[in-house]
Structure 1
């Protein structure tokens, strides 16, 4: 099966439409017509990295769509079903992590939606900035039809990244939750935490984001550059989710934790340096997490369907993908870009997509 995709052939090269071939549907596969796919900071990182390219890179790992066809062994999906897929499309299925529903921690490493190796034919996976995607049924999720489809797409990356730590630590009524940064991950942290019943405190470097944070459900807002405000917040929280994507000092956020509190650093995945006394005093913990396994991902979608929770998105046509990437690089988005891919095949066939890409 052939479909149109948005691809780059070299690091930092502009995205251009091309035709790619998807594999034939296997017995446990689902063929999905992609309708919307998010634009994530990890897509930017992949497009900048020469190691991410194997001749051509098609990004896109948080997407929604409808089922077109299913393999002979698939029983949980039928054509027409609204579905969502995240950044994992396969795993070994037999290790301890996979058997516990934590495929994101697969001992043999999960197969990523793009830039990964297919576990059967060893081909390189191509992402969902495309018209179609063929994926193993285990990694397809039922999408609440009541929610705006475009606004669901970021739940499959930003949403699940913050949801799994909340579920694993039992966030609920009485939890004092801190959220550092109000972006793609941060705004969903506030919205989900509030829906779980937590009292949410937002930490931001921008005083102008106070009203935004309160509108999302935050009870308190602390400007982190205000030393007096940070001192007043000391020892006041049970859990802090840090979503800031650049290197920064974690010590101030360890200090706002109460006894046995935990700081989840989710945004910056590079090296960090901390003083052990910041952990020692109060028996505090520093943790991280990434993506989510099957049980927490479907749990997230079900919860969002019940509570009407989606991401705040700006939807752009596929032909403006390079505009989205440029604006994301500059931080000019509130809070997530999503590409409309519903007619990408038809547009390329008419030839007009080339005008939108400046070709």
Structure 2
């Protein structure tokens, strides 16, 4: 290969992004030592919405599984926290881990049923499954029934500072971990199949990608992640009820974040989360008007920026903060084409 030609994955912007990500992570980890309780709660909320957005983006943006029922696993994760910590006396953070595992296991039989549906039917079907779980929990008296129950007794023995600090650190692990985990996933062989699946399901299947198995893995992993975040959410709220745990508002908010940020990108959910909280805090005093503005923004993005705000920025400035594909640079057009062909040929054998 010519010395003038390089096949690269990292960019200058990506190196700066990684450095900034490390700096932000260290800043977040240090928050309990100097920030007030309100700042800790806000940071925790931003991080768990970021984790949810990244997980749903992998599910819908790469796996093609546009689920509107992921609140099912948020609710199940929350109730696993209740059952484990309040009923069984487990440490709350261990109960959250149990909820993630439980949601992953439940997702296997649920996926067998849901994967029989396609498109809008799949989206509606997943919402119906979430409603089924809501009704089941609403009629389970030992978990509080329809009125729900408090989680205060499960955490009252913990020191307040340590509880807030551990909650934030778990949120950092889930939020920043979701970014790093998705980035690592998309750079793996499994990620190569997911990227092909995002571009064309039919074409990827014709090239030997095991689409059904790949979708199953994505669905189960996303469900486990949603379960973990669900436990964290209700640990911060210290109260749970079926209507709150299985509310479709969770999924609506996540979809809004991903759509305005950019579906099928790592950067999109990050940008979407920041915009969501900025708009929410700025427009909160306007009552229901801010919901109308949210809807208008989502419609405008879908009409004029179908790849989301990040997609428009990336196309305009050739910007990639988390590059997952190799690129050829610094070569003549002919040499670049030859190297690109070699790259594609090599990728097909990974």
Instruction: Identify, as 1 or 2, the structure richer in strand.
Output: 1
The answer to whether TM tops 0.5 is no
Report the TM-score when normalising by structure 1: 0.29
Relative contact order (C-alpha < 8 Å, sep 6+): which is higher?
Answer: 2
Higher helix share: 2
What TM-score comes out, normalization by structure 2 length?
Answer: 0.30
